[in-house]
Amino acid sequence: MQAKLHRENFRPGAANDIAGFSNSFAEMRNLWTIRLTTSLEETIRMQEQVETSGKRVKDLTKTLDDKKEQLEKF
């Protein structure tokens, strides 16, 4: 029996791999459930917030760079 298990590359931790896959699959199913039940308006609002935040980060980064240049000149 041990020779057969060795030939089939039996690993004692294989049960943990299966449990990990099962947990990952359950998490993915929950994420898709949330994604599919989210309204279109809420999705659009979240996308707009991400775009607004991205623009603000760019503006603040530019301001920081300008202030660093002014400090170096001073």
Greater pLDDT, 37 or 5 = 37
User: How much of the chain exceeds pLDDT 90, in percent?
Assistant: 49
Spell out the SS3 assignment of the chain: CHHHHHHCCCCCCHHHHHHHHHHHHHHHHHHHHHHHHCCHHHHHHHHHHHHHHHHHHHHHHHHHHHHHHHHHHC
Average pLDDT over residues 30-59: 91
Q: What is the pLDDT of residues 18-38, one digit of tens each?
A: 778 888 999 999 999 888 888
Question: Is the four-CA dihedral 29, 32, 38, 42 of positive or negative sign?
Answer: positive
Contacts of residue 17, Cβ cutoff 8 Å, sequence gap at least 6:
11
